[in-house]
Amino acid sequence: MNIKPLAAVLCLALLAGCAHQAPRNPLATWVPSPNHDERRPVIIVLHYTEQDSVEQSLLTLRTRNSGGPVSSHYLVGDDGGIYQLVADGHRAWHAGGGSWGTITDLNSASIGIEIDNDGVEDFSEAQVDALLRLLDDLTTRLRIPRSQVIGHSDLAPSRKIDPGTRFPWRRLAEAGFGIWPADDAPAAPEGFDPLQALRLLGYPLDQPEATIRAFRMRFRGDAGSVLDAEDHRILHALTRPDGAGLLKPTSLQ
């Protein structure tokens, strides 16, 4: 029996096994516990590419642009094609600075989905259908709450406007993703505090006017910077503790 080839095979097997082990701190004694899990994202952030084609966006998301390297986990094409650029368990560079509730490092806590759209065109039916399939997969497989789907402008209202006023948020809510006010939700009660409601939803309030614009882009389809009675009604519906003010998914109505 030739010992040398066998020894070489054993060494390669050991090296292969070590390559798949999690990094260990050399300062500590390794005493492994089975009580652990993979780190998982808890929120999904939607963007539009503001570019002219999937090909252009794939290049941008895999190289470097004027602001430095950027990436996302997924890109959804206008024809409904779905592309994955970064593994779900890895940190893509899509959110930048901002916050949502107590989360201040959105890149570490989220899945980023870019949508092929130049910022002024409507989102295609094939594209929205593909996005809904992807959201269903991600929320089911990664156990992300279906309500935790937000726009880039929600977490960074002073910097971003995507996915824009044309994005079909109600369509997503009817399919069970994100949130939307029920049509029959009543007016807000006297003394209702809309800024506190924005904070409860997750919006940052360091620049209230920008936050109001982001809220209205998502729930009113415009870029107004002043809250009116309808905004109060929507905010009250979205933040009711019993959830009775929310639009129910179509399959549940």
Domains (range + CATH), the chain: 43-174 (3.40.80.10), 194-252 (no CATH)
Render pLDDT for 38-56 as a digit per residue (tens, 0 to 9).
878 999 999 999 999 999 9
**Catalytic residue flag (residue 114):** yes
Given a cut of 80, whether residue 1 has pLDDT beyond it is no
Say whether the peptide bond before residue 163 is cis (omega within 30 degrees of 0): yes
The CB density around residue 179, as the number of other CB atoms within 10 Å, is 22
Report the chain's mean pLDDT, rounded to a whole number.
Answer: 91
As a dihedral over the C-alpha atoms of residue 41, residue 251, residue 246, residue 216, rounded to 10 degrees, the angle is 70
For residue 7, pLDDT over 70 is answered with no
Task: Give 83: exposed, middle or buried? Use CB within 10 Å, 0-12, 13-18, 19+.
Answer: middle
Catalytic residue among 50, 55, 114, 121, which?
A: 114
When pLDDT is cut at 50, 70 and 90, the band that residue 20 belongs to is low
What is the gyration radius of the CA atoms in the chain, in angstroms?
A: 22
State the pTM of this model: 0.89
Each residue of 182-233: pLDDT tens digit?
999 999 999 999 999 999 999 999 999 999 999 999 999 999 999 999 999 9
Q: How far apart are the first and last CA of the chain?
A: 72
